[in-house]
């Protein structure tokens, strides 16, 4: 029983605030959580208002056609509702695709989003990774020719390292891949990347013409709705119809649906968060430069600093109520910090300057 899961580790999510409260006795309101790439500003106040107003309907299942949400996404991306599937986070859309195909082999970057590997192993797939830790499309192509994987994952920009392929390079790569390999473009941080550099912008409507490309996006990052679990997949109708076969009914909640619909209506709020993200990121870059610490140019809402003794540093920060991500498990000393609010970043950097 469970033979296929033998080598599968349970996904370790960023430490929840509750755990730090229990372990270190720090007041919840004093904890600074910069470990899971959440939006530090939260959702738009208009979203909170709409959810409150609709709370009385939580005994009702949501509209399972997700009509209004798909209309909103259609307008945002210039696609049609039939090109969209909604998931409980984009994680669930990834799950639909991977389980629906049940690949024998999948291909991904040396270090990339952990869920690709987890869902793939659940169906017994062999995981093939490029030697480079960041996305190197020449290596991808070599390994594609050698192994003919049924799925290729491109995380654009990449979590947890923050680097981002140019859109043109992604489009050129797609052209070289046969139709029987699905290419999944994970755009969880596309809002950040396309703000910073237009050359990184992947437009979902541009991939509809391909029979074998799925774009995924989420409300968890730029839109500040991580706790609501709403994501989406965009692709040609054939792919979407098949993903729907794996979708359980009512897979997001009534209030998650309200939140997502209203989040799309307040783009100003989202832009404020993205703008501040890159302003605040400069503080970490200054710190790295002044200390000669290597870092990746980041197109996301987090930054990776190749700092010595990352595990000790993460622990010392945790004792002071600051949660970040230690990357020692990848085999090098680095920390991943989600960019927070100005006062959060200032406090973290002050402590970092003291202890490192
Ligand atoms: C956060 C994240 C997701 C999905 O998050 P959901 O909350 O499930 O929508 C997908 N891919 C990457 C790379 C992410 O960082």
Instruction: Give per-residue pLDDT as tens, 272-311.
Output: 999 999 999 999 999 999 999 999 999 999 999 999 999 9
- Give the start-to-end residue ranges of the domains of the chain: 3-43+268-355, 45-266
For residue 88, give the ligand 1 atom closest to its CA: 8
Mutate to test the pocket of ligand 1, among 220, 232, 260, 300 (most ligand atoms within 8 A of CB): 220
For 174-188, write each residue's pLDDT tens digit.
999 999 999 999 999
Residue 13 has a pLDDT of 73
**Residue 272 alpha carbon to ligand 1 centre in Å:** 21
What percentage of the chain exceeds 70 in pLDDT? Answer: 99
Residue 14 has a pLDDT of 65
Q: Which tokens is 326 given?
A: 């230690």
Q: What is the mean pLDDT of residues 233-238?
A: 98
Residue 282 has a pLDDT of 98
Residue nearest to atom 10 of ligand 1 (CA): 188
CATH number given to 3-43+268-355: 3.90.1150.10
Residue 22 has a pLDDT of 79
Q: Are strands 105-108 and 151-155 parallel, antiparallel or unpaired?
A: parallel
**Residue 127 alpha carbon to ligand 1 centre in Å:** 19
Q: Are strands 322-323 and 32-33 parallel, antiparallel or unpaired?
A: parallel
Residue 152 has a pLDDT of 98
Q: Are strands 335-338 and 302-306 parallel, antiparallel or unpaired?
A: antiparallel
For 338-350, write each residue's pLDDT tens digit.
999 999 999 999 9
Which is more confident, 134 or 16? 134
pLDDT band at 122 (very low <50, low <70, confident <90, very high): very high
For residue 90, give the ligand 1 atom closest to its CA: 9
Q: What is the mean pLDDT of residues 148-173?
A: 98
Average per-residue pLDDT for the chain: 96
In angstroms, the CA 335 to CA 355 distance is 14
Beta bridge mates, 106: 127, 151
Does residue 217 register a pLDDT over 90? Answer: yes
Q: Is the CB of 301 under 6 A from ligand 1?
A: no
Q: Is the CB of 113 under 6 A from ligand 1?
A: yes
Q: Is the CB of 90 under 6 A from ligand 1?
A: yes
Q: Is the CB of 159 under 6 A from ligand 1?
A: yes
Q: Is the CB of 223 under 6 A from ligand 1?
A: no
Cut 0.85: pTM above it = yes
Does residue 21 register a pLDDT over 90? Answer: no
Which is more confident, 21 or 91? 91
Residue nearest to atom 6 of ligand 1 (CA): 89
Query: Check: CATH 3.10.180.10 for 45-266?
Result: no
Q: What is the mean pLDDT of residues 309-331?
A: 94
Q: Is the CB of 155 under 6 A from ligand 1?
A: yes
Does residue 153 register a pLDDT over 90? Answer: yes
């Amino acid at each position: 029983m469970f033979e296929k899961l033998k080598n599968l580790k349970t996904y370790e999510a960023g430490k929840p605030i509750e755990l730090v409260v229990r372990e270190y006795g720090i007041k919840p309101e004093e904890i600074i959580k910069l470990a899971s790439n959440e939006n530090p500003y939260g959702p738009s106040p208009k979203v909170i208002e709409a959810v409150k107003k609709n709370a009385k309907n939580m005994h009702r299942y949501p509209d399972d056609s997700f009509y209004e949400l798909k209309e909103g996404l259609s307008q945002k991306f210039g696609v049609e509702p039939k090109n969209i599937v909604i998931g409980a986070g984009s994680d669930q859309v990834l799950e639909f695709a991977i389980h629906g195909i049940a690949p024998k082999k999948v291909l991904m970057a040396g270090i990339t989003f952990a869920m690709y590997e987890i869902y793939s192993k659940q169906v017994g797939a062999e995981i093939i990774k490029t030697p480079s830790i960041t996305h190197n499309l020449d290596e991808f192509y070599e390994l594609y020719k050698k192994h003919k994987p049924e799925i290729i994952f491109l995380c654009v920009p990449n979590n947890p390292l923050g680097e981002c392929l140019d859109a043109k390079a992604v489009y050129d790569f797609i052209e070289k891949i046969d139709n029987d390999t699905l290419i999944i473009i994970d755009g969880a941080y596309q809002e950040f990347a396309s703000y910073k550099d237009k050359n990184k912008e992947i437009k979902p409507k541009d991939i509809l013409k391909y029979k074998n490309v799925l774009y995924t996006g989420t409300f968890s990052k730029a839109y500040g709705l991580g706790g609501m679990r709403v994501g989406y997949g965009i692709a040609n109708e054939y792919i979407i119809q098949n993903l729907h076969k794996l979708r359980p009914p009512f897979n997001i909640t009534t209030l998650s649906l309200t939140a997502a619909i209203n989040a799309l209506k307040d783009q100003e709020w989202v832009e404020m968060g993205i703008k501040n993200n890159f302003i605040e990121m400069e503080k970490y870059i200054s710190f790295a430069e002044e200390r000669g610490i290597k870092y990746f140019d980041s197109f996301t809402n987090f930054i990776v600093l190749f700092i010595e003794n990352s595990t000790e540093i993460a622990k010392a920060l945790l004792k002071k109520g600051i949660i970040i991500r230690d990357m020692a498990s990848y085999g090098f000393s680095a920390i991943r910090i989600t960019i927070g609010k100005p006062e959060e970043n200032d406090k973290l950097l002050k402590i970092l300057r003291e202890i490192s």
